Amino acid sequence: MTHPRPTTGAPAAGNQDSRPAPSRPQPTEGVPPTPLALTPPPTLHAHLTTHLAGAARAWLDQALEEAAANPGTHGPISVWELRLAEAGRRCGSEYADAARVLILHAARADTDAVTRVYFQGTGAERRAVLHALPHLVPGPDALPLIEDALRTNDTGLLAAAVGPYAARHLDPHQWRHAVLKCLFTGVSVSAVADLEGRARADAELARMLGDYAAERTAAGRPVPEDLYRVLALTESGSTPPPHGSAHPHGKES
């Protein structure tokens, strides 16, 4: 009998609603110690250079040179877009996100290009595009990609969508719903960029969190720990939350 991945299957009983339980992310080797979306590309490149094996490193270096030399759109599919597609099998899935961010950066992908490769991409490619947005698109033009990812239930896409690009550009209503969706789907709010800054004194977010906690409690279900963490952040500003329902402590089970 072989059980190669005993922990990744079999959703835990009592999972919120009936959604699949995402495995709790564990720290792993091979990822840089800062978020992809916040790591300057040269630092990311240096990190990959030290971690990738020879053939993968050579492939990446050539892919980046090609992308830098031939950015933009050429023919039905540009060379750098092909490299973006095959980065997983060339670099290994552990390093694929970082490699793809670097390729997008080397190709100086603009809003049109990132939009195209996002909508023509696999889940993994879409995630990489979301990570790359803060490096590539200064204004809010790529927000439709964030909004698309936030409509999915793929926790990898959700976690990537609530990065610094969303923190910078997402309007308050959508941002609050993104935070709530993290709580619903089990994405750690640690993934939410500038959580403290945007949650501070957000009375509407506090109300939504309180209502969600009350709903969970009324159903006899546990309230996600992360909810209290965000709730505390909303209370760290000058404006107090409007309702007493924002304090469901002691009714967690």
Partner 1 sequence: MRIFDPHIHTTSRTTDDYEAMHAAGVRAVVEPSFWLGQPRTSPATFFDYFDSLLGWEPFRAAQYGIAHHCTLALNPKEANDPRCLPVLDELPRYLVKDQVVAVGEIGYDSMTPAEDTALAAQLQLAADHELPALVHTPHRDKAAGLRRTLDVVRESALPPDRVLVDHLNETTVKEAKDSGCWLGFSVYPDTKMDEERMVAILRAYGPEQVLVNSAADWGRSDPLKTRGVGDLMLAEGFSEDEVDRVLWRNPVAFYGLSGRLNLDVAATDATHEGNSILRGGA
Site residues (CB under 8 A) for partner 1?
1-2, 4-11, 20-28, 31-39, 76-77, 82, 85-89, 92-94, 96-98, 120, 122-127, 131, 152, 154-157, 159-160, 163, 187-188, 190-193, 195
The burial class, CB within 10 Å (0-12 / 13-18 / 19+), for 221 is middle
Compute the least distance from the CB of residue 35 to partner 1, in Å. Answer: 4
Residue type, 38: L
Compute the least distance from the CB of residue 34 to partner 1, in Å. Answer: 4
Task: Identify which of residues 149 and 213 has a Cβ nearer to partner 1 in the complex.
Answer: 149
Written as six digits, the tokens of 7 are 């922990």
Task: Identify which of residues 14 and 33 has a Cβ nearer to partner 1 in the complex.
Answer: 33
Task: Identify which of residues 22 and 248 has a Cβ nearer to partner 1 in the complex.
Answer: 22
Task: Identify which of residues 42 and 242 has a Cβ nearer to partner 1 in the complex.
Answer: 42
Compute the least distance from the CB of residue 245 to partner 1, in Å. Answer: 28
DSSP state of 193: T
- Which residues does 199 contact at the CB level (< 8 Å), separation at least 6? 179, 205, 230, 233, 234, 236
Distance in angstroms (rounded) separating the CA atoms of residues 89 and 50: 18
Compute the least distance from the CB of residue 13 to partner 1, in Å. Answer: 11
Among 194, 191, 205, residue whose Cα is nearest residue 234: 205
Compute the least distance from the CB of residue 113 to partner 1, in Å. Answer: 14
Among 174, 230, 228, 224, residue whose Cα is nearest residue 197: 230
Task: Identify which of residues 54 and 75 has a Cβ nearer to partner 1 in the complex.
Answer: 75
Compute the least distance from the CB of residue 247 to partner 1, in Å. Answer: 25
Distance in angstroms (rounded) separating the CA atoms of residues 142 and 73: 18
Long-range CB contacts for residues 71-76, cutoff 8 Å, separation at least 24: 71/106, 71/107, 71/108, 71/109, 72/107, 72/113, 73/113, 73/116
Question: Phi/psi class of residue 108: alpha, beta or left (left: φ > 0; alpha: ψ in -120 to 50)?
Answer: left
DSSP state of 29: T
Compute the least distance from the CB of residue 201 to partner 1, in Å. Answer: 21
Task: Identify which of residues 20 and 172 has a Cβ nearer to partner 1 in the complex.
Answer: 20
Task: Identify which of residues 104 and 160 has a Cβ nearer to partner 1 in the complex.
Answer: 160
